[in-house]
Structure formats: C-alpha cells, structure tokens
A and B are shown apart, each in its own frame.
Chain A
Amino acid sequence: MALSKIATNDKHGENSPYFDGWKAYDSNPFHPTKNTQGVIQMGLAENQLCFDLIEEWIRNNPKASICTAEGVNWFKYIANFQDYHGLPEFRNAVANFMSKVRGGRVRFDPDRILMSGGATGANELIMFCLADAGDAFLVPSPYYPAFVRDLCWRTRVQLIPVECHSVNNFMITREALEEAYKKAKDDNINVKGLIITNPSNPLGTTMDRETLRSIVGFINEKNIHLVCDEIYAATVFSAPCFVSVSEVMHEIEHCKSDLIHIIYSLSKDLGLPGFRVGIVYSYNDGVVNSGRKMSSFGLVSSQTQHFLAAMLSDENFVERFLAESSRRLAARHSQFTKGLEKVNVTCLPSNAGLFCWMNLRNLLKEKTFEGEMMLWRLIINEVKLNVSPGSAFGCSEPGWYRVCFANMDDETVDVALKRIRAFVGKETAKPVELKRWKSNLRLSFSSRRFDENVMSPHSPMPHSPLTTLLIFSHSFPTYSNQKSPPKLEICETQTHGVSPVIGLKGCPLYPSIPAFTYDETHFPRTSEMKNKEQLTELRDNLKTSTLLSRRSTTVHVTYKDTESGRIKSRTSMGGHYNSVHQEPEFGPFKEIRIDDDNSWTNLYNMGTLKLQSFIYRYESMGP
C-alpha cells in the first residue's frame, strides 16, 4: 500500500546536497584531542557560550526540578499536567522573558502565548492556522533552509522568495516585496502573508525600524499576515539594538494587529534546543484559540515548563544571563571576524546571531552556484569545516557562506580560523589550485601564457575586480526563472570606491543593454547555449569588447525595466564591508582593450582570472 504524498516527496529537505556537509561531519567529527583532523561543525546555529551560568543556577535552585530531593514532591502533579494552555507560571515567565529580551520596551500577554514543539513546530502551527494548501507566503531570501520543511511540507503551503541582494546589504525593499507579490498575483497564487526573520538567519543582522515600518505598512495595505520569526532576539550583541515588530506595530496608525504573529523559541537565545520550547505569540484572537488547540501536537514537556518557569522568573538571573550572553557573543564574533580579516575574508557586517555571513566570492572559480558548490565541497572535504553555502538559503548570488561560531569553544574557533587562513592563503598564493583550470582553459588560451602570467602569487584577492563585478550584476533582479533574458536599459552607472570594477561594453548578446553590463547572469544560461558557433562568437565578442575598469566599492545604477517602463535604481555597497565606512576613494578610470593576447595578461594581473573562467565555462559546456 502506497504511503502518502507527503511521505514520498522531498520537501523535508534532507535529500538536498547540503546534507553532505552534515554527513561529512558525522562520519569524521573533530575532537580537540582524539580527532584533531576531523571536520569542525560550523553548520549548527547553537549557542553554547553560557551553559556555566545555567548550571550554576541549577546548583543553587534544586527546588526548580521535579527530579531532586527538594523538588520531587511536585513530580506527580507536574508529570500529570497536560493542559495545552501550559503551566500559568510558565507562560508568565516566558512573557516576562520575551519582554526583557526586547529591552522591556514592550509587554507580552501570557494568554497569547501558545506552546509548540520548538520553532519548527511553531512555524508549522502558524501556517496551519493562516493558510490553506496551495496558499503562499512571501519570504525574503536568503532564508533558513528548513523553512521549506517547517512551513510547507505537511501544510502544503508554498513559499515565494523575495529576492534581496548584497548591493544594499540584503535589505528587504518595498520594491522587491511588491514585485514578488505582483508576480504571485499574476500567477494566480493566493498570497496569505509574509514571513521574516529578525534578527536574520543567515545574515546575523537586525532590521531597522524604518524597514519594519515599511513591511508592516505593506502587509496592512495588502491585508495579508506578517509572521515575524524572532528566535534570535537575545543574540543581538552590538548596536543597533533589536527592534521587535511588537514595538513597531504600536507606532503605526491603523495597524491591523490581528495580522501580526511572532514566533519565538528558547533554542537560540538560551541555548536549549533539546528542550523543544517553541512559542507562537499572536495578536489575532482566532489564531490564539485555534492555535492553542493545535498545541496538543507539540506541547512543551511539563518537566521543562516547571523548570523554566522557575529559572525565567528569577529576574536577577535573567538580566545577568542576557547581558553576559550578549557580551560573550560579541567577543566570539569579534575573535572570529578578526581572524578572517587577516586573510582578507570579509563578512556582511552583523550585530546578532550565532553565525557570520561570509563572503568568499573571491575564491569562486566561477561566479555561479555550481562554483559555489565546488568551493563548498572543497571547504568540507579538504578544509574540513562544515559551513553552509548561500544557495542552501536560497541566496540569489553565489559566494556567500553561513559560518556558525557559537557552538564551540575558543580553542576550536582557533583551529577553524587556522584552517581557513591556510586554505585562503593557499588558494590565493599558490598556483596549485589553479592547475585544474589550466586544462579547462586550453581551449581558449595557450597553456604557455596561462602558466607564465596568470598565476601571479601576489594577485591582490580582495581587490579582485570581479568581486565588485558580481555585486554589480546582482544589483539587478535575477531572472533565473525566466526563459527570456531581461529587458533592461541602463540609464546611468556611477562607480566609486577602492576596488576595481570591470564592465563589458557593447556585448552583442544583449542589444537592449547598450552601455555597461557583464557577468554570467546576463548571458544566456548554459542550457540555451546551442552550438559551438555561438560559443565562439561569444568569446570573440568578448575579446573585441571594451572592458572598463575603475576602482570602486560603491556602484550606483539607474536602469529602466523596458517591460514595465519603470525606472529603478540599485546601489551596491561594495564587497569589502570593513571599508564601507571609509571615505570612498575615486581611482583612475582605465580602459582596457582585450583584442590581443597581452590584454588578457594585463587583465589577469589585475585579478580577473574568474572572468576567463566563466568565458571558458560557456565553451566547455558546449556540444
């Protein structure tokens, strides 16, 4: 007898290639003394920095547990307690804790607190309450990969990504929301809401008040739900401070509060994922009523409710814990990001979370998701770090990796940093890794030239023009789901800053873009490359095109979407975020002709290796 469709589909997500990293870790886990060459788990957003505080509290509060001589007289009552409202003292304590985490600026009503089995269960529960099978929720990308399981698998709800880009630090813009919403409407999809994570997983950033206001305005206007996943609220470790939707909604006139729902959990903020404390806090009475009944499928163990009620009611402990946890996360974040900076690896500037959003675009052989996966496998199998590639998060541009840093001790962080440094050093300094390319590139270029010039050991990686090149290309909406190429007209382009930008002028494949565009996302996808002639034509066209180079960290583009006729603009903040706050440096404008062999050499010396790579890609993937 066949199983259900749910049982036989893949929406649980575990057949995705990303599970290879977990398997690699599981088969060879790092241990500081027993397995020093093992894989370090950096794919797990766990908070292990403050267990000593909790353990101390436990030693001082034996009555809090039903399993101590002091507390066992509660055992019978607690073991028997299965009311889906939860222990009143537990709900009070959680409401109070949620308020404290948000700086006491907002209060929570214990009667609106619904229990569920972790954030996993909470997310599923809210979907069951808000959407029917086939309905959709918008979700800004990049987003937590398991959302597909949590929000969609058993509910049959669909997710519609709202694409965010590094050009504006992955901010959720009103335009992107409108675009995704409109697209869904055009496709006859019933959009029931928007789900955001704040602080963001994987970005580690918090949303500013203006963005939140704009989002609340958006969902009010469309009359759709807003689910705010705030499970990382207490991991904010530096300014700006966390702003919860629960604060913002009170500031907005005529906000329909019954559209707003918060997901919370103690897995990240307290580091207790094993305790399966998931919370749905809804301002909608209907959701509170029916969601509470759904709680029955994933109640918090009464043993745990009882224990946490006592711990979270201890105001002194809570305050001390929150302050200390934030301090330790800041220290760990700084230790980790400084370690990366030594090899010029940067991360998206962040102020929260248990991870960094690491930018390795410089190390990609190809600026594609295949290239990202290639590099990822290298990191897992050779560097022996289980990090998570951006594509796992539905990121719209390749080269980003989420690296967790709070699930290990300082010594393990040092080992991980050493491995990263050694790897990046090797990748940038030695030709070893590039040998692979040589064979690939033979079709286009003589191996002689490649050997001689291309492998400059001192090519300045962080200033690789393509770093910015990629950012620039992704300042446009991606069209990966569309068969036809984008119809864009570039109106104006401004670039300035400290690293070079390279542009390709007059690419014949896109006559609608007369001035200034490049990179593979604006070329036809490989599957559309029909024959060798086309490939040769592309290479020749590239050769005779003009590449513009300019030192820059900021690219501002104004363009016209010829379909809608609307003028839009995108701004890139550049690839080197540690220098974002520096005064932009306007470098010399350079024009390089690539119609002869020497120009390739010049280009390479500037670090444009990857451009050759993608040109080659189209050739090698031909018939």
Chain B
Amino acid sequence: MGFGGNSQQLLSKIATNDKHGENSPYFDGWKAYDRNPFHPKNNPQGVIQMGLAENQLCFDLIEEWIRNNPKASICTPEGVHQFRNIANFQDYHGLQKFRNAMANFMSKVRGGRVRFDPDRILMSGGATGANELIMFCLADPGDAFMIPTPFYPGFVRDLCWRTGVKLIPVHSDSSNNFKITREALEEAYKKAKEDNINVKGLLITNPSNPLGTTLDKDTLKSLVSFINEKNIHLVCDEIYAATVFSSPNYVSVAEVIQEVEHCKRDLIHIIYSLSKDMGFPGFRVGIVYSFNDEVVNCGRKMSSFGLVCSQTQHMLASMLSDENFVTTFIEENSRRLKKRHDKFMKGLEEVNITRFPSNAGLFCWMNLKSLLKEPTFEDELKLWRVIIHEVKLNVSPGSSFNCSEPGWFRVCFANMDDETVDVALNRIRAFVGRETKKPVGIKRWQQNLRLNFSSRIFDETTVIMSPHSPIPTSPLVRAT
C-alpha cells in the first residue's frame, strides 16, 4: 500500500479553495487560545477566550429544569420507555411537538407580538446549516446576496463555500452609527448590476453580530420596501433575538411585514437557532422560517442533510413547551446579560475605552482606534496580535468582520464567569495603562515602522501616549 501523492489534486474545487475561512490570519487567535487556555487555578496566565459568542449565563436555570423534568429525556429511567420511538424518528418534518414548541418560543422571544406557523419551521444543522440551506434554495452559483458590513466572518463559509453564491458588502461605518442606509443599499445594488452580477437578495443580522445593536422599525421598513421594490429576497438572521437586554425593544421582520402594505411575503425568510438565545450551540438547532411555500417545501427536503437529533428535539419540545420556564428564562437571561454587559462596560470605561452603544448580543464592539499607531488594517492586526499574545485575550479584530474602518474589536463577555471577566478587565486595564504610559510595549512596533518613519519621529509621537490623554480624542482617532 502506498500513497499516490495526489491527495489534493483529485479533490474538488470546493475542497481545495479557502472559502471555509480557516486559513485567514484570524484563526491565530483561536490557535493561541487552544495552545494555552486560561484556567482560574490551573493556568491563570493563559489566554482568555473572548472570541466565542457563547451564552453561559443561565445554565443553572436549565439544569434545575432538567432535574425537575426527568421524563423529558429518553435517557432517564423515567423517560427511557420513549427511547425506541425517538431514536427511530427521522422524519424531516421533525417532531410535531418540537415544531410547536419552537414556534411558540420564537413568538415569546418577540414579545408575543407575532405568531409563527409550526408548519413553516424547517430544521437544519445549526444556523450554519440554516444559512447554507436558504442559499441553496434561493440562489444559483454565481448569484449574489448583499450584506451590510460589518458581518459575521463565518458567513463566507456558511453562505458561499459550497453554494457558489457571492456576497456583496454594503458598507456602513461609525460616522452614522453603522446604520444600513438606503443609499448604501442602492449603491451596492447598482454596482452589482453594472458588474452584471445577479443579485438574489439581501441578508441582514438583527440583532447585529458584531455590533450588538437592534434595527429600528423604520430601518426595517425601509429594508423591506427596498427588497420589494427590487423584487429580491430578504433573509433575516435573528439568532440573537433573545439576547436583547435593554431598550429599544426588539423588532423582528416578522412584525414589520405585517405593517408594510403590499409586502411580498414570499421574499421574506428568517434564520433562527438556539445556540445563542439558549446557549445550546452543541445541540445544533438551526431553523429556517420562510414565508415562501416553495422554500418550505424544498427546504424541508434539504433538512435531511442536517436534521436536529431526535433526542434533542424531544427534550427541547418539553422544555420549550413549559411556559413558566420559558418566560422565566427569557427574562432572567436578559437581566443577566444586561448585568454582565454593564459590568464589562464599566470596567472598560475605567481606562477610557469606549465601545459602540449596544442593547443586545453576547459581545461588545470595542473601539481601540486610539491605540492604533496608524488607522490602517495592518495596524489593527498588529494591535490584535499584541492583545492575543501579550494581553492574552482572544478578541476578534474588526477586519475579520469586513468592517470598513480599522480599530474595532469584538469582545465576547457571556461565555465566562464573573471572576474571569474581572481577570480580563484587569489585563485590559494593565495593557491600556502601559500602552498609554510607557513606551515599552511600543519598541517592537518601532522596527516595523522604520520603513515609514524615522525612529525619532516615532519616539516623539509617544508623547501622545500620555496616561491621561483622553483616548477617544487622541490625534490618531481624529485622523480617521
């Protein structure tokens, strides 16, 4: 037996291209964390994972429910009599009670202001699978979807890798609070048309990842009328719907389309998941909710490639049908997220770090433009590497979200306990203090920058690193 040495050459183009995104430099942060993960006792100097948008704040509520409801599982003495029925269940419609419970939960998360039809609920393997599924349904290879920046880096893998669909960024920036404007949409659409690209739709995330903001009703209405006018699809990724922790209230596209006259509903599709809202990414519950009958029919058949495990469906059906539990959970989850968010913000503010104001999500969009030597993406990456390797925090740089201006970082805060947050904040404070006080940390940069600047100039500029310089108004920020 031997190797043909053609390990790669005989594979598909998909298998050999880079659209899975893992060869990007951003994976360095994950690698750094994987090699040296923080542990409060065993490895207090390790890297803290702040790149993972996980929600770990309410597991006590869930575990309590599990203890009180042993019949909900097929792997307990109380529930094992259901084992054979459930283990054998592979209908791609899913358990009726699961779909009912999901529809009910989705409605509750949206304040009960809108109802969802269980028969429009399609299962898929997490939001990852749901996003791919809707692309397979809506677009052919070479077709494009518009997507406002900054956006979730995994979209390139989820939406494009195997489907051959393209993404067209719709640029937004901090000058108007990263709002998705009609002008930016029209411009991106027009540009694509000129380039002879077939635009099949627009994809938005609401609440936004990485911004942690929700779209207001007017913006949503404007988006809905835009896609109606162009007769293209609107895919709304609402997987963070239950992470809204302060006003304004969450508004789902499902509500808005009820208010827009002559809205072509069969252009509207919602992506949902329990990975963020309940903190169950391991359970791989991805949902496509489409108002389009054909998508429901065909997408349901595609569900076969990523069904939700039946024992998971069975357990979640019980859990999400428990109205008291769901109500308590949604409230408590929101309360705890707010608390965590406030704690983290307060810590950042102590060293004058600002972040984009947000009311949702498991992260904040941190503004470190003042720490950039130059307002470029190269410097953003340099700063990022320092944060990873010296501060030992795995945060995500804005460029990985296709952000159009450098200096933003997404920092996740809900995947750890309070003590770890304190450690992370201490590190950030120490780092920012050092960066702003001492030239020490900057020595390395000096070498990098020699090509452009004399070391003298560089030394001089360290003046701006005064410990008390109000970072948001540092000259470098103004320079952007």
* Chain A interfacial positions (CB closer than 8 Å to B): 1, 3-8, 12, 14, 46, 48, 51, 54-55, 58-59, 62, 64-69, 72-73, 75-76, 78-82, 117-118, 120-121, 124, 128-133, 135, 149, 154, 192, 223-225, 249-250, 252-259, 267, 271-276, 284-287, 290-291, 293-294, 296-304, 307
Contact = CB atoms under 8 A, between A and B. Distances in A.
Contact of B311 (A75, A253, A296, A304): A304
Contact of B87 (A128, A257, A271): A271
A252 B1 CA distance: 6
A128 B162 contact: yes
A80 B279 contact: yes
B305 to A, nearest CB: 5
Interface in B57-102: 59, 62-63, 66-67, 70, 72-77, 79-81, 83-84, 86-90
Contacts of A271: 87-88
A521 to B, nearest CB: 34
B304 interface: yes
A259 B63 contact: no
B15 interface: yes
Interface stretch (B126-134, B402-410, B468-476): B126-134
Nearest to A52: B84
B75 A6 contact: no
Contacts of A1: 138, 200-201, 231-233, 267
20 contacts: A4-B138, A12-B301, A54-B87, A65-B75, A75-B66, A76-B56, A76-B59, A79-B279, A129-B15, A154-B136, A154-B162, A249-B1, A258-B3, A258-B7, A271-B88, A274-B88, A290-B20, A301-B282, A302-B284, A303-B283
A55 B83 contact: yes
A1 B235 CA distance: 13
Nearest to B154: A296
Contact of A82 (B136, B275, B294): B275
Interface residues of B, number: 87
Contacts of B162: 128, 154, 294, 297
A250 B1 CA distance: 6
Interface of B: 1-4, 6-8, 10-16, 20, 22, 54, 56, 59, 62-63, 66-67, 70, 72-77, 79-81, 83-84, 86-90, 125-126, 128-129, 132, 136-141, 143, 157-158, 161-162, 200-201, 231-233, 267, 275, 279-284, 292, 294-295, 298-299, 301-302, 304-312, 315, 415
Nearest to A82: B281
Contacts of A80: 54, 56, 279-282, 415
A274 B89 CA distance: 5
A47 to B, nearest CB: 9
A327 to B, nearest CB: 19
A291 B309 CA distance: 21
Nearest to A258: B7
Contacts of B312: 301, 303-304
Contacts of B308: 276, 301
B283 A302 contact: yes
A64 B75 CA distance: 8
Given A7-B136, A254-B1, A274-B86, A14 B301 contact: yes
B282 A78 contact: yes
Contacts of B299: 7
B227 to A, nearest CB: 9
Contacts of A149: 301, 304
Contacts of A73: 63
B64 to A, nearest CB: 9
B66 A254 contact: no
Interface pairs A-B: 3 shortest CB-CB:
A274-B310, A302-B282, A67-B73
A303 B16 CA distance: 32
A558 to B, nearest CB: 37
A213 B415 CA distance: 52
B138 A286 contact: no
A66 B66 CA distance: 9
Contacts of B305: 117, 120-121, 124, 154, 297-298
B76 to A, nearest CB: 5
B282 A117 contact: no
A55 B136 CA distance: 39
A14 B89 CA distance: 19
Instruction: Name A's interface SS.
Output: helix
Nearest to A120: B304
Given A67-B70, A286-B16, A296-B128, 8 more contacts: A55-B83, A58-B76, A65-B76, A117-B125, A257-B2, A273-B87, A297-B125, A301-B283
Nearest to B14: A128
A297 B14 contact: no
Given A154-B162, A297-B306, A55 B80 contact: yes
A48 B88 contact: yes
Contacts of B315: 67, 303
A64 B83 CA distance: 14
Contacts of B311: 274-275, 301, 303-304, 307
B10 A223 contact: yes
Q: Which of B8, B157, B306, B310 has the most CB of A within 10 A?
A: B306
Contacts of B231: 1
A210 to B, nearest CB: 18
- Listed residue (B70, B86, B88, B232) with the most chain A CB atoms within 10 angstroms of its CB: B88
Given A8-B298, A192-B10, A118 B310 contact: no
Contact of B83 (A8, A58, A276, A284): A58
A296 B157 contact: yes
Nearest to A68: B76
B13 A256 contact: no
Given A4-B138, A62-B76, A256-B3, A275 B87 contact: yes
A75 B306 CA distance: 22
A276 B91 CA distance: 11
A296 to B, nearest CB: 5
A132 B284 contact: no
A65 B73 contact: yes
B77 A274 contact: no
Contacts of A66: 66
Contacts of B275: 82
A299 to B, nearest CB: 5
B282 A256 contact: no
A267 B310 CA distance: 12
Contact of B12 (A54, A64, A129, A304): A129
A417 B122 CA distance: 38
A48 B87 CA distance: 10
Contacts of B415: 80
Contacts of B302: 12, 154
Contacts of A223: 4, 6, 10
Contacts of B62: 75, 79
Contacts of B281: 79-82
B90 A274 contact: yes
B6 A6 contact: no
Contacts of B77: 59, 62
A253 B1 CA distance: 5
A304 B309 contact: yes
Which among A79, A223, A258, A284 has the greatest number of chain B C-beta atoms within 10 A? A79
Contacts of A58: 74-76, 80, 83
B5 to A, nearest CB: 8
A3 B2 contact: no
A509 B462 CA distance: 98
Contacts of A291: 15
B12 A132 contact: yes
Contacts of B3: 256-258
Contacts of B80: 55, 58-59
A75 B54 CA distance: 15
Nearest to B89: A274
A108 to B, nearest CB: 15
B76 A82 contact: no
Nearest to B58: A76
B109 to A, nearest CB: 18
B23 to A, nearest CB: 10
